[in-house]
Amino acid sequence: MSKQAATEHGRGEIRDNALKALVTSKLFQPRVVKAKKGKGSYNRKGRNSKDYALVVSAALACKKVSNQLWRG
């Protein structure tokens, strides 16, 4: 009486070949993983966070102030 591990393979009732059903299930499909650092990690779209907008607006405000001080 051995209990088999329950695997979510999405095949319903397996009738003929359990190994074939398992290998061809979504569990063994190749996955594309986006790199966080290094090659393939470049993101063309800008950041969509509120913090980034605050940093950019603060940097632009500092640049305007420094330009006004420089001009006299």
Rg of the chain on CA atoms, in Å: 27
pTM: 0.35
> Does residue 38 form part of some domain?
no
> Does residue 11 form part of some domain?
no
> Does residue 71 form part of some domain?
yes
Q: Which residue type is seen at 56?
A: V
pLDDT at residue 47, as a whole number: 64
pLDDT at residue 49, as a whole number: 61
> Does residue 55 form part of some domain?
yes
Q: How many domains does the chain have?
A: 1
- Does residue 2 carry a pLDDT above 60? no
pLDDT at residue 1, as a whole number: 46
Domain extent at residue 60: 48-72
Instruction: For residue 24, give the DSSP letter.
Output: T
Give per-residue pLDDT as tens, 4-61. Answer: 555 666 777 888 888 888 888 888 888 888 888 888 888 777 666 666 667 777 777 8
Count the helices and strands in the chain (H runs, E runs): 2, 0
